[in-house]
Amino acid sequence: MPSLELPLHPSETVTASVTVWDDTCSATWVGERAARWFSQFLGIRCSLVHMSKTLSARLTQPSRRPVRG
């Protein structure tokens, strides 16, 4: 499989709503080349997105959140 080089900070021109652990947030689409690469590698149709600090706060998996009491 060919290697894939990605920008450290993708252009924020195309955004999409994505779901992470039942939370919906905004993310930047990395591009068609990355989508094709990951789809071929994983064997399912998918896209790669980037979540910058300006688009969304950091998410944690609900089952791994610290218990406060």
- Per residue in 3-43, pLDDT (tens digit) is 999 887 777 688 888 887 788 888 888 989 999 999 999 99
Rounded to whole angstroms, the Cα distance separating 59 from 61 reads: 7
Question: With 70 as the cut, is the pLDDT of residue 52 above it?
Answer: yes
Determine the pLDDT at residue 23: 80
Please count the structural domains in the chain. 1
Rounded to whole angstroms, the Cα distance separating 18 from 31 reads: 15
Q: Residue type for 46, please?
A: C
Assess if residue 66 is contained within a domain: no
Assess if residue 25 is contained within a domain: yes
Domain assignment of residue 22, given as a range: 18-51
Residue 30 CB contacts under 8 Å (≥ 6 apart), including other chains: 6, 7, 10, 47, 48, 49, 50
Assess if residue 45 is contained within a domain: yes
Determine the pLDDT at residue 27: 87
Average pLDDT of span 35-61: 80
Rounded to whole angstroms, the Cα distance separating 55 from 58 reads: 10
